[in-house]
Amino acid sequence: MQVDKNLFMYDLAVVSIMKNTAPYVKEWLDYHLLAGVNHFFIYDNDSEDNFKEILQPYIDAGLVTYIFYPGKRRLIESYNGAIENFKYLCRYMAFVDDDEFILPRNNRSISEVVEEILKLHYRIEGVEIPLITYGSSGHKKADYTRGVLERFTHRMAEVTEATKTVLNPRKVKHMWTTHFAVYFDGFLGVREKDFKASPNVDFTLQEKIVVNHYHTKSFEEYLKRKSGGDAVFGDAWKNIEKIFEAADSKGNEVFDDEILRYRAARKSELAPNGDALKIFSERNDVDADKIFLALTHNLLPADLGDDPVNFLSVDQNQLEYFHAVSEFYKSASQDFFQGKLETFMTCLGVSSFLKKNFPDESLYRNFEKISLTAVVKTLQAGSTVADLQFLIQEMPQLLALPYPAVNTIRKICAKMIVEWRNTLRDSITDGSQLKIWEEIFHWDYHLKMLEVFDNYNHK
């Protein structure tokens, strides 16, 4: 069930970890803004160049959240940190590197194409976009006066097996690799073609969306980047000339400047005149009023009661409307709350963020409280294994909240675990089914953790 898009601060955010990419990051940011990205979570992996200086105007414009993130081999950790910390702020998240450019193969935004693919089946929560690898186009020397997209216009004829993912961050356990996510029970990520195949092995050029991967660039740039270490492989790059030649050997087979034409068309449409940074800053500015109204709309039925004044200050006409809505949902609440755990957990996550960052803390604390009431109601209306996995993952944050409903949610989760654990046990026919036993032990552990809080009171 789709969550109300008006609840989110950002429709599409990109997560990336970068190091010493000052010559490239402006072009990368500007391109993805044109392609429909609303916000960037940039992890700075201990850059030593003027990387942050280049980022600063985008930070000041509210387009980039900057996180200093030193240390080696922290790519997957940064991705999972972004999911944990920001999943309720953006409807979709994309995970790409600074040398990767998401290209919708038409004049639409990334979100439009992704949403079109996700609607193919209710189980799809992520789009795995194949990479097209671009070579050096014969360049040995770096030319920083021209952009990457202009300089490198030749690619491999074949599509690689590698992909990058755009996904719903509230339906994933974690990023497993830089290319794939592990989803909650029953959900999956797919390529746009032949998504019912298992596994999906369609490596043809996709019709709707691809990722242009400028892996090598010129030899000079390749040497500079790899000699400085790599986010995944550390300092393991040896014999750099042979590695470059191998990487570049098939990277120049086909001339392809589609991305330049896409960028020009989007710029003509979205920012034909004036300051593009200012235009996108205003366009992607967080609309607190929109989020407030979305929270009100989604949480009103959960507030119930006979006095909606406690929910927010309203005039008499609004009161009459709220009373009418409240009476309707009292008679149809079971149907209304069924299957809406993601919606109400999003309301909770957004409320918690706004409580910390906007002046009227008491208002958003009230939203927070009502969101938890709604979570209880949706669990009472029915739940799935995926819901249980989601709640267990969120339980540390839930238990830190000072509301009585948290204890009710904890007890419901404990009951759900017992029921699912018993179902798993009943499915065992012999002692060789180790995976099922492993899952049973996994749920036993979480059940014991929940029981620790039996005497914990939320006031």
Interval 312-336: pLDDT, tens:
444 445 555 555 555 555 545 557 7
Element holding 60 (H helix, E strand): helix 51-60
Quote the pLDDT of residue 199.
47
For residue 176, give every residue at least 6 positions away whose Cβ sits within 8 Å of its Cβ, in sequence order, or none. Answer: 182
Q: What is the pLDDT of residue 362?
A: 79
Answer with the residue of higher pLDDT: 275 or 330: 275
Q: What is the C-alpha to C-alpha distance for residues 408 and 412, in angstroms, rounded to an integer?
A: 6
Taking only Cα atoms into account, the Rg of the chain, rounded to an integer number of angstroms, comes to: 24
Residue 360: name the closest of 289, 299, 297, 302 by CA: 289
Closest CA to 163 of 111, 109, 76, 95: 95
pLDDT of the residue at 329: 52
Tell me the average pLDDT across 346-364.
85
Q: Any idea which residue has 């449409």 for tokens?
A: 269
CATH of 5-283, one of 3.30.43, 3.30.1560, 3.90.550, 2.70.50: 3.90.550
Is the CB of residue 283 less than 8 Å from the CB of residue 255?
no
- The reported pLDDT for the residue numbered 106 is 86
Here the tokens at position 173 are 């356990």
Per-residue pLDDT tens over the stretch 360-376: 777 888 899 999 999 99
pLDDT of residue 326: 55
pLDDT digits (tens, 9 = 90+) for 411-433: 999 999 999 999 998 888 876 68
Least confident of 16-20, 56-60, 238-242, 251-255: 238-242
Contacts of 127 (CB under 8 A, 6+ apart): 114, 117, 118, 165, 166, 167, 189, 190, 191, 192, 209
| Alpha helical stretches, state H, 338-403 | 341-357, 361-380, 385-399
Give mean pLDDT, residues 293-320: 61
State mean pLDDT over 196-206. 52
Q: Mean pLDDT across the stretch 204-226?
A: 86
Residues of the chain with pLDDT > 70: what percent?
A: 86
Could you report the per-residue pLDDT of 75-118, keeping only the tens digit for each? 999 999 999 999 999 999 999 999 999 999 989 999 999 999 99
- pLDDT given for residue 306 in this prediction: 39
Q: What is the pLDDT of residue 348?
A: 96
Structure tokens at 255: 């001339």
Task: Kindly tell me if the per-residue pLDDT of 228 is higher than 90.
Answer: no
Lowest mean pLDDT: which of 224-228, 293-297, 308-312, 363-367?
Answer: 308-312
- pLDDT score at 452: 83
Provide the whole-model pTM. Answer: 0.88
Mean pLDDT in the chain?
Answer: 86
pLDDT-derived band at 195, boundaries 50, 70, 90: low
Q: What pLDDT, on a 0 to 100 scale, did the predictor assign at position 62?
A: 94
CA-to-CA separations, 317 to 42, 314, 320, 322, in angstroms, rounded: 46, 8, 5, 9
- What pLDDT does residue 454 have? 73
Least confident of 123-137, 221-235, 245-259, 274-288: 221-235
- The confidence band for 121, taking pLDDT boundaries of 50, 70 and 90, is confident
pLDDT confidence of residue 233: 47
Q: Estimate the share of the chain in helix, then strand, then coil, as percent rounded to the nearest 5.
A: 50, 15, 35
Three-state secondary-structure class, residue 14: strand
Identify the pLDDT of residue 456: 58
Q: Where are the domains of the chain?
A: 5-283, 288-451
Residue in this structure with the two tokens 């995944």, named with its chain if needed? 232
Q: Can you spell out the DSSP letters for 188-235?
A: EEE-SSSTTSSS----SPPSSEEEEEE-S-SHHHHHHHHHT-BTTTBT
